Amino acid sequence: MSDSPANGADLDALHERVLAWFEENARVLPWRGVDDPWAVLVSELMLQQTPVARVLPVFEAWMARWPTPASLAADPAGEAVRAWGRLGYPRRAQRLHAAAVAITEHHGGEVPSDHAALLALPGVGEYTAAAVASFAFGQRHVVLDTNVRRVLARVLLGQAHPARSLTASERRLADRALPRADAHRWAAASMELGALVCTARSPRCTECPVADLCRWFAAGRPEPDEPVRRSQAWTGTDRQCRGRLMAVLREHEGTVPKVALDATWDDATQRERCLDSLLDDGLVTVHPDGTFSL
């Protein structure tokens, strides 16, 4: 490759090969190839920090129950949290419900196509707004999830992993790497390449359509000097405790007595702290009789 990490000729080859690979290898997913911006928005919020395999059954049940923003907005937010099931980070369900209410009240029940309007929706950040504008409306935006960042870091910079936090220089590089045509397809294709081939732990470089263009592969796949950050432990954490409490509340249509919540976790101090945090987050409601519900 050229000395430039984003040389025009190199990028043309990169785009052509990754898009051709995507044409042949893209997974069939229920939110792809559909004329339904709501499905795209729901999928993007569900997929945050959650694997596709876990999202699929929840997404399908969600869309069957709430096929439009207005249908979700008509139900209480607690029902959205209940339907979120075990996807984790249940505040995402609250935010999706709030977004549905805003879409219903301010956009005639239709997911807006304007990037700024998307960004103004509750729970929608820069990544989600760009992803929905790209995937649902075919617009040209930089869509930078973990998979895309890893592909660009390896191919264009020769780095095993991107920085822990998105940097301004990384965003500029991604912008220079964005093709003028088919930018929305490039966003989906580079994301898929990172998810299926250019994976974090066991990259399948021999199957990569751009291995000969990849600076990291050419350098012998060097590992970074600093160790890769390990995943946070789960057992015994507040996240696990909160999950246990939420599981009991999801299983009951009505209110739940405190004794049922007490039975979920032995450490009373930690359990009360986690219950308080769920109340503070608005995920759980306490009633005058001392019972609890979503």
Using CA atoms, how far residue 216 sits from 13, 19, 97, 112, 206, in Å, is 17, 20, 42, 39, 13
Could you tell me where the DSSP H helices lie in 85-155? 91-106, 115-119, 126-137, 146-152
Under 8 Å between Cβ of 35 and 15: no
Residue 217 near residue 49, CB atoms below 8 Å: no
Return the half-sphere exposure (C-beta side, CA atoms, 13 A cut-off) of residue 88. 11
Active-site choice (44, 110, 170, 253): 44
What is the Cα–Cα distance from 67 to 258, expressed in whole angstroms? 35
Could you give the 3-state DSSP secondary structure of residue 278? helix
Which residue is it, tokens 């929608």?
A: 124
Residues sharing a CB contact under 8 Å with residue 221, sequence separation 6 or more, in sequence order: 160, 203, 205
For residues 271 and 228, what is the distance between their CA atoms, to the nearest angstrom? 32
Q: Which two tokens stand for residue 56?
A: 């699929």
Alpha carbon of residue 53 to chain centroid: 13
Q: Which amino acid is at 111?
A: V
Amino acid at 123: G
Which 3 state secondary structure label does DSSP give 293?
A: strand
**Pick from 267, 162, 277: nearest CA to 216:** 162
Any catalytic annotation for residue 44?
yes
Asked if residues 66 and 58 have their Cβ atoms less than 8 Å apart, the reply is no
Positions annotated as catalytic residues are 44
